[in-house]
Amino acid sequence: MDQITSIKVFVAVAQQRNFARVAEQFNLSATMVGKHIRSLEQRLGTPLIARTTRRQTLTEAGRFYLTECIQMLEKMKQVEDEIQLITKHPRGLVRMNVPVSYGNLVIAPLMAELLGRHPEIDIELQLDNARIPVDEQVDMLIRIGELAETTLVARHVGDYPLCYCASPDYLAQHGTPLSTKELKKHHCLGFDGGSGQRLLPRPRLTTNSGNVLMQAALDNGGIILQPKLLLQAHLDNGRLVEILADFAPTPMPINLLYQAGQQPLKNRAVIEFLIERLRKG
């Protein structure tokens, strides 16, 4: 059994205290996670984790070993980063976390180009609408909207305009509102991202899916306020009509975020690629 992998698994188990979560992180079964831990214990000749039916706690040897393993893995990472800088040859796994719709419509179409430009970089692309995921390890994030105070570096890569729209048949039947005040008289279809903030009055349909709202609007269900990026094809073919253009909210900023400090060459390569392609778009 590979010792380095076993050490990485042990550190993850020691930090997260959750075999199932570690198994998912390393794409292993929970049984295999246990085998990695036992392999280290047999090699060292002492238990590292004291197991009960309710919890796992580190033994004294386990606490000492954890400290040494973290330092060793960090040193290995530093050496790999320095070699990449010397050889100017980016390689390794880069983990990205981006919003769902933006990831599907904007980031996904760039992935083949990115992988082709950097054949030894692997990408783990997570789609997630949470503001900042705090329970997952990622190398970089893309988030839309004003940022809360953060220690991360934020690079502006674009803007995210919203627009009001409805189907031509809905507007023919119910009329076209001339101001946002008139929306109270209409069937509104509202997005709820979990914050409790609703941008449309008295929505008859509320969901956390932009695609559901778009489909309801296409089916003459009412008025939506959604990202133009999601709606553009239907605006172009006339199945949806933009309304209240003068009342559209200010476009939201799109930011690429990552940890401050010197970035590994693999991360820098991806950051530079994303900034180049997203700002161009």
* C-alpha–C-alpha distance, residues 20 and 18, integer Å: 6
Q: What percent of the chain has pLDDT over 70?
A: 94
Assess whether 182 and 242 both reside in one domain.
yes
The pLDDT assigned to 134 comes to: 46
pLDDT tens-digit map of 126-164: 998 876 654 457 899 999 988 887 788 999 999 999 999
Number of domains in the chain: 3
Mean pLDDT confidence for 234-256? 96
Mean pLDDT confidence for 27-54? 88
Q: Are 209 and 173 in contact (CB under 8 A)?
A: no
Q: What percent of the chain has pLDDT over 90?
A: 63
Which residues lie closer than 8 Å to 73 by C-beta, 6 or more apart? 7, 8, 11
Q: How far apart are the first and last CA of the chain?
A: 47
Mean pLDDT confidence for 245-249? 94
Assess whether 60 and 44 both reside in one domain.
yes
Q: Compute φ and ψ for 254, nearest 5 degrees.
A: -110, 125
Average pLDDT across the chain, whole number? 89
Q: Which band of pLDDT confidence, cut at 50, 70 and 90, is reported for residue 198?
A: low
Assess whether 263 and 135 both reside in one domain.
yes
Joined together, the tokens standing for residue 131 give 């503001």
Assess whether 94 and 154 both reside in one domain.
yes
Assess whether 67 and 189 both reside in one domain.
no
The pLDDT assigned to 246 comes to: 95
| Helix (H) / strand (E) containing 242 | strand 241-243
Assess whether 98 and 173 both reside in one domain.
no
Assess whether 128 and 188 both reside in one domain.
no
Assess whether 95 and 81 both reside in one domain.
no
Assess whether 39 and 153 both reside in one domain.
no
Q: Are 219 and 236 in contact (CB under 8 A)?
A: no
The pLDDT assigned to 82 comes to: 79
Chosen domain end from 57, 86, 115: 86
Strand spans (E) along 9-139: 49-51, 56-58, 92-98, 121-127
Assess whether 24 and 67 both reside in one domain.
yes
Assess whether 80 and 104 both reside in one domain.
no
In angstroms, how far apart are the furthest CA atoms of the chain?
79
Chosen domain end from 68, 86, 104: 86
Q: Mind giving me the DSSP string for 116-172?
A: HHSTTEEEEEEE--SSS-SSS--SEEEEESPPPS-SSEEEEEEEE-EEEEE-HHHHH
Chosen domain end from 86, 117, 143: 86
The domain that holds 227 is classified in CATH as 3.40.190.10
Q: Indicate whether this model's pTM tops 0.85.
A: no
Residue span of the structural domain in which 262 resides: 89-160+252-280
pLDDT over 90 (residue 174): yes
The pLDDT assigned to 203 comes to: 86
The helix/strand count (H/E) of the chain reads as: 10, 12
Assess whether 134 and 206 both reside in one domain.
no
Considering only residues 53 and 119, tell me which one the structure prediction assigns the higher pLDDT.
119
